[in-house]
Structure 1
Amino acid sequence: MTVDSQGTASAAPQDAPGRAAGKSQTPPPPSGAKESLRPPRGRRSLPSGLLPYLLVTPALLSMAVLLLYPLIRNVILSFQGVNKREMIRRETPWVGFENYTKLLGDPDFWSVVVRSLVVTAVNVALVMLIGTLVGMLLNRLGKKMRLVLSLALMFAWAMPIVASVTVFRWLFDEQFGVANWVMRSIGFSGYEQHNWFETGFSTLVIVTILLVWGSIPFVALNMYAALTTVGTELYEAAKMDGASGWRTFWSVVFPNLKPFFMITTFLEIIWIFKAFTQVYAMNQGGPDRSSETLPVFAYIEGMGQQHYGLAAAISILTIVMLLVAMSFYFRLILKQEDEQ
């Protein structure tokens, strides 16, 4: 019998305290704890280390079919003396390193290599400089003007290459070109029917303008996206210290966006170095093959001169040069990771 606080008595079973004690000693497990850890019946989970490889397998197979197999065939072709006669007779004579020794001893090949390197260096420098400035301008503009400029950049970036080459050929046309009209309007003589594609240098200048125009949107938009990750407090601290705009860029923007500049520069080097359509469609590598770059040189030797083995060797050497550039890039990446 128990007595409550108001003095009333109530009866309780004799074994109630014992049951309560027993229940308190073995509390029930949390509901759903074990059920969530048990896998559903009838299903087997994959090993944790196997799932990532299964997800990557389709991409690897696609790359092997679309990239690896043609690369292997191209390497094999570079060791064969396949010309027009061999193609007709379906012969594939092995010549070893003859194609490579012929190229490495050809002064025309080295002229094209130097020309390709100079064009790449000039284009990448201009693209990174102008693209960075446009990206910083996007970061400073208001919403409406930023939207207008971003749309203009996207339209320039989305224009097909052949269409853009056609527009540039019309701009620099001898008779109806805008470039000749502008030069005459500002007082220069001799531009009544000036041929802008008369020399290889002038042709490459026009190609450079086209490549820079087509590459700026990529750098500018990525630069603007990267600038949004830099905290405003860093700009305010630099402003309080009296830093100029140039000093703010080198002390605040560049250190924080160094990985962006590295990867973007590397991608631009690859894109400019292997640019083919812009150079070939502009003037077919002319006049007198004086505006050829390595991709155009390989195409003309293969499809134009029908020296297929030699063209394959040119493409392999081009890939080797890009691999050398990649090695420098990965070395910088590893060095930066060690510093961090």
Structure 2
Amino acid sequence: MSVQTREAPPRKRRPAAAPRAAGPQPGEGRRADKATLPYLLLLPALALTAVFLGYPLVTNGMLSFQNLNMTQLIQHVTEWNGFANYTDTLSNEEFWRVTLRSVIFTAVNVVVIIVVGTLIGLLLARLGPRMRLLLSVALVLAWAMPIIAATTVYQWLFAQRFGVVNWVLAELGFESMADYNWTGTQLSTFFVISLLLVWTSVPFVAINLYAATTTIAKELYEAAALDGAGAWQSFKCVTLPFLKPFLLVATFLEIIWIFKAFPHVFAINEGGPNRLTETLPVYAFVEGVGGQHYGTGAAISVLTILILLALMAYYLRIVLRQEDADETENDGEMA
């Protein structure tokens, strides 16, 4: 008996893929344009930064290597003296005294500004709409006032004769303060300058911190209350972790602003009495412009930038670590 077998039908061959055409594909051009677009948008800002920030820095750095006094300035003579301005400045004890004074002055004011700004920002979060609007307007007005105008107001307030502060203190029973000279000693002058700096800097911290508190979900506070957490525990476990990144950035900015503050210090008493309230920016101006040693003043300003960068190096690492930790946490939540 024979068995008939069927042959399997031949398989259909798939048509071969068409060879890829040489040159850019239709979608590749769009991807390339999207990749270069951000850099093109940044070009105007980078160009303006190079012109208005980079050029003065380079010019100031070149002046720091010159012996530039009024004689050379009038005669249009360029006299290079190498690192003489830097060696003279670094070997001067007055420069190191001013540096230590600037660091202490910055640290004290930044701590006060951050603490007061945080308290006012938390107060804004607890106030009703009307009181919050009134306090916010007052903060914005204090923040928007020009520095020289604010300095003039404080000079009037703390004037030795006919000053409002002395009059109020005398009316309260402190008769010895009726004719007190607030710019006569180092501590009292720094007290007035610090009040001015705190008054003009606290609004930035308070308003931005209040904006940060609006991002915290109310459910977190309700859950903390159900767990028996009090006001301090709710602030420590709920509010503070959300505000920590902002506080780090605000502290970073305040250190820069306070350390380089010039008009607040100079306009109150021009670094007096007896140059005891000079900070590094004022010291650079007095030595450079006031003493007509422009090369020395430029060298002091360059050293001021380097000292600020050295002080901020450790703190900048903390800020960057916090940002990396936040990004890692966000990536973990998304996964």
Query: Match for residue 256 of structure 2?
Result: 270
**Are residue 80 (structure 1) and residue 80 (structure 2) matched?**
no
Query: Match for residue 246 of structure 1?
Result: 232
Query: Match for residue 244 of structure 2?
Result: 258
**How far 1:235 sits from its partner (Å)?**
1.3
Q: Secondary structure at the match of 1:47?
A: helix
**Percent of aligned pairs with the same amino acid:** 54
Of the three residues 139, 157, 179, the one matched with 2:125 is 139
**Are residue 301 (structure 1) and residue 287 (structure 2) matched?**
yes
Query: Match for residue 290 of structure 1?
Result: 276
Of the three residues 99, 123, 137, the one matched with 2:109 is 123
Q: CA 1:93/1:328 → structure 2, altered by over 3 Å: closer, same or farther?
A: same
Q: Distance in 2 between matches of 1:88 and 1:201?
A: 40
Q: Distance in 2 between matches of 1:289 and 1:253?
A: 44
**How far 1:82 sits from its partner (Å)?**
1.0
Q: TM-score, normalised by structure 1?
A: 0.84
Q: Distance in 1 between matches of 2:95 and 2:263?
A: 20
Q: TM-score, normalised by structure 2?
A: 0.85
What pairs with 1:146-225 in structure 2 (closer than 5 Å)? 146-225=132-211
Query: Match for residue 44 of structure 2?
Result: 58
Q: CA 1:337/1:278 → structure 2, altered by over 3 Å: closer, same or farther?
A: closer
Query: Match for residue 32 of structure 1?
Result: none
Q: Distance in 2 between matches of 1:91 and 1:305?
A: 19
Q: CA 1:155/1:338 → structure 2, altered by over 3 Å: closer, same or farther?
A: closer
Amino acid at match of 2:226: M
Q: Secondary structure at the match of 1:289?
A: coil
Residue pair 2:169, 2:178 contacting (<8 A) in 1 also: no
CA RMSD for the aligned pairs? 1.9
Partner deviation per Cα, 1:223-251 (whole Å, 9 max, x = no partner): 10000011111212222233332222221
Q: Distance in 2 between matches of 1:308 and 1:248?
A: 55
Q: Distance in 1 between matches of 2:70 and 2:186?
A: 29
Query: Match for residue 83 of structure 2?
Result: 97
**How far 1:187 sits from its partner (Å)?**
1.7
Q: Distance in 1 between matches of 2:312 and 2:33?
A: 35
Partner deviation per Cα, 1:97-118 (whole Å, 9 max, x = no partner): 1111111111111111111111
Partner deviation per Cα, 1:112-135 (whole Å, 9 max, x = no partner): 111111111111101100100000
Q: Distance in 1 between matches of 2:266 and 2:38?
A: 42
Q: Distance in 1 between matches of 2:115 and 2:225?
A: 23
Residue pair 2:67, 2:81 contacting (<8 A) in 1 also: yes
**Are residue 325 (structure 1) and residue 333 (structure 2) matched?**
no
Q: Distance in 1 between matches of 2:155 and 2:323?
A: 46
Q: Distance in 1 between matches of 2:102 and 2:296?
A: 18
- Where structure 1 has 5 or more consecutive residues not aligned to the other structure, the ranges are 1-37
Q: Secondary structure at the match of 2:34?
A: coil
Amino acid at match of 1:49: A
**How far 1:337 sits from its partner (Å)?**
4.3
**How far 1:72 sits from its partner (Å)?**
0.7
